[in-house]
Structure 1
Amino acid sequence: MPHRPLARALAALVALLTAAVGAVLTVPGSAQAAAVNYVALGDSYSSGVGAGPYDWSTCLRSQKSYAPLWAAAQGVTSFAFPACGGAVTADVINSQVNALSAGTTLVTITIGGNDAGFADVITSCRFGSTSTCTNAVNRARAFATATLPGRLDATYAAIRTRAPDARLIVLGYPRLFELNSCGWLAMSTYKRTILNDAADLLATVTAGRAAAAGATFVDTRPYFAGHGVCGADPWIHDVSGVIEAYHPDADGYRYGYLPALTAVTG
């Protein structure tokens, strides 16, 4: 009998400690905060063109792209991958955003290069004369400053409408070329220089519109420095494949894009 008050006190103390621990483990909102519902939008630099192997769609999606690599490493709650090779901003607005919802917590995107005529500019510079290349680059630069900002604004707004609570991360494009000697079949140093300068302009425009939309811009250029076409250890395809030309290879996505994304997500 004399021990019953002590036993009751110990039982009460255990119950109190259990309740306190339970409260810590079930803080309201903690489960939601831990959930990562990730959607990867964008063009070929998100779908993984250049990395291979590809799925059976016409979008050339590769599991070696940065998006599925990041999703696997982070153990996300859900992952959707509508990014598609060749996509322009209209494709994102009219189709890809359908993968988003109010429950989406993270969105990544590369977009704008195809709007600015990436493929035509590269083709003109790789196979055309210096003047042909210069004219193509100048047209792309004019588009990037006059027309592309509005298209990017509309794209980011469409994403916000479908996924209002998601973090939006906009990844830029790398410079494609190193400027060292690269053999007599390579593009001239002048062509490579103006193409890199155009990539810098595109990065500036994209970063500005991303900031205006409250998004995080990720500059991938530092991560690819020294690994462009004509580098000693290139992570960018040259003209070895028509589809994959001037896109990152698997190393470019793993060691260029993936660390760039991880640097801002933790």
Structure 2
Amino acid sequence: MTVQHLAALGSSFAAGPGIQPLEDRVAGRSRRNYPHLLAERLGARLTDLTVSGATTATILDTPQRILLRRYPPQLAGLPVDADLVTLTAGGNDLGYISGMTTAAWGSWFRTHAQAGVRARLGNRRSSPQQAPAMPTEADVERAAAGLVRIVDAVRRRAPRAEVVLVDYLTVLGPSTVPSEQAPFATAAIAAFRATGERLAEAFATASERTGAQLVQVSALSIEHAVGSAEPWANGFSVGFGSPTPFHPNADGMRAVADAVVGHLGL
């Protein structure tokens, strides 16, 4: 297979927010995300349409607004001569990383607020962190159906294109434990990890229904989660210039590009 024109669709796990240099700061799109690295490896032209925060709907037919910018549906920009299209989306349909980020900030604020209370009033027992709600079967089916609709639409617009579904890097793995980088109770870590597994199921379902190729980086990265010796995703941190929490880091993006190249045998 010779790839001349690569097009990339997807959300932040493809766009690469916080990885310098940025191509589009508002979209959180890096010049060193896996689509750019993949295009370099293949010697192909690249049309990178990824936007952080994208859902399957904003890829298909719904404009996406970020601050004062309006991004048209990503499929509207898909070149008809693309011969390889990568797709990483669906996590925002399930509230996956946004839920994790919200919970982490909530934990951080509770910890610091309670520290102030304890300093003034003496030790008080902190309230337990609640485990996040799990996506329902219907939620997972909607995400899978959205991926299927995107694959079908890509094939109509770019009929020569090989479509490759690339699922999400594992963020919280089996060995991830409560820490500053993962400021969650054990039950919450388990729930977020289970949501990641359900997202991987949505990708597998979409691949089965469409025949699109699937690169399961969720499985490849299981030993590279937050808290591991060589993480491919950022943990939680606070401060100016801190990496984007719970998103791929530069090593993770390189690993994804390598996985796609290896899968395609190129």
User: Structure 1 length normalisation: TM-score?
Assistant: 0.77
Q: From 210, 215, 231, give the equivalent of 1:213.
A: 210
Change (3 A) 1:122 1:99: same
Q: Say which SS state the counterpart of residue 145 (structure 1) adopts.
A: helix
Residue aligned with 1:261, SS: helix
- Unpaired segments of 5 or more residues in structure 1? 1-32
Q: What is the CA–CA distance in structure 1 between the aligned matches of 2:79 and 2:4, rounded to whole Å?
A: 13
The counterpart of 1:199, out of the listed 196, 204, 209, is 196
What's the offset of the Cα at 1:67?
Answer: 0.8
Q: Deviations over 1:43-91 (max 9, x none)?
A: 1111112422212441111121111111112111x21111111111122
Question: Following the alignment from structure 2 to structure 1, what is the Cα–Cα distance between the partners of residues 103 and 236?
Answer: 12
Instruction: Go from structure 1 to structure 2 and tell me whether the alpha carbon gap of 1:55 and 1:130 turns closer, same or farther (over 3 Å shift).
Output: farther
Percent of aligned positions with the same letter in both sequences?
A: 26
Alignment partner, residue 171 of structure 2 = 176
In 2 relative to 1, CA 131–187 (structure 1 residues): closer, same or farther, beyond 3 Å? Answer: closer
Q: Distance in 1 between matches of 2:171 and 2:129?
A: 20
1:19 aligns with none
1:223 pairs with one of 210, 220, 229: 220
1:263–1:144 distance in 2 versus 1, CA, 3 Å? farther
Cα shift at 1:125: 3.7
SS of the residue aligned with 1:210? helix
Rate the CA distance shift 1:244–1:188 in 2: closer, same or farther, 3 A.
same
Q: Which has the higher strand share?
A: 2
Determine the structure 2 residue equivalent to 1:112. 90
Structure possessing the higher radius of gyration over alpha carbons:
1
Match of 2:258 in 1: 259
Residue 41, structure 1, aligned to residue 9, structure 2: yes
User: Larger helix proportion, structure 1 or 2?
Assistant: 1
Cα RMSD for the two superposed structures: 2.4
Map Cα deviations across residues 129-187 of structure 1 (whole Å, 9 max, x no partner).
7664332xx2x344533422322222222211111221000001122124254547732
Do 1:239 and 1:245's aligned partners in 2 also have CA atoms closer than 8 Å? yes
Matched, 1:63 2:63: no
The equivalent of 1:79 in structure 2 is 46
Q: CA 1:151 to 1:181, structure 2 compared with 1: closer, same or farther past 3 Å?
A: closer
Cα distance in 2, alignment partners of residues 60 and 124 from structure 1? 18
Where does structure 2 lack aligned partners over 5 or more consecutive residues? 62-72, 108-126
The yes-or-no answer on 1:157 pairing with 2:152 is yes
| Contact 1:141–1:201, Cα closer than 8 Å, also in 2 | no
Q: Size of the alignment, in residue pairs?
A: 229
Distance 1:177 1:50, change over 3 A: farther
- Per-residue deviation, residues 17-48 of structure 1 (Å, max 9, x unmatched): xxxxxxxxxxxxxxxx7452110111111111
